[in-house]
Amino acid sequence: MPGEFVDFGDFVQATLPGLLRYGHALTGNPHDAADLVQTVLEKIGSRWSYVHEKTGDPLAYVRRSMANAHVSRWRRTRRENLVADLPDTSPHVPADPFEHEPLWRALRTLPPRQRAVMVLRYYEGLSEAEIASALGVTQGTVKSQASKAITSLRLKLKPGDGGGEGSGAG
Is 4:51 a contact under the CB 8 Å cutoff? Answer: no
Please report, in tens digits, the pLDDT of each residue of the chain (170 residues total): 444 667 888 999 999 999 999 999 888 888 989 999 999 999 988 888 888 888 878 888 999 999 989 888 777 766 656 666 666 666 666 776 666 788 888 888 899 999 999 988 988 888 999 999 888 899 999 999 999 999 998 988 877 655 444 444 43
Torsion angle in degrees (nearest 10) through CA of 94, 99, 100, 101: 140
1-85: what fold? Rna Polymerase Sigma Factor; Chain: A (1.10.1740)
DSSP SS3 for 61 = helix
For the domain bounded by 99-157, which CATH number is listed? 1.10.10.10
- The pTM of this model reads 0.49
Residues 6+ apart with CB under 8 A from 142: 117, 121, 128, 131, 132, 135
CA angle 28, 8, 137 (to 5 degrees): 50
Identify the CA nearest to 33 among candidates 73, 80, 60.
73
Q: How far apart are CA 98 and CA 166, in angstroms?
A: 22
Of 102, 88, 113, which Cα lies nearest the Cα of 26? 113
Q: How many CA atoms lie within 13 A of 155 on its CB side?
A: 7
Which residues of the chain form CATH 1.10.10.10? 99-157
Residues of the chain with CATH 1.10.1740: 1-85
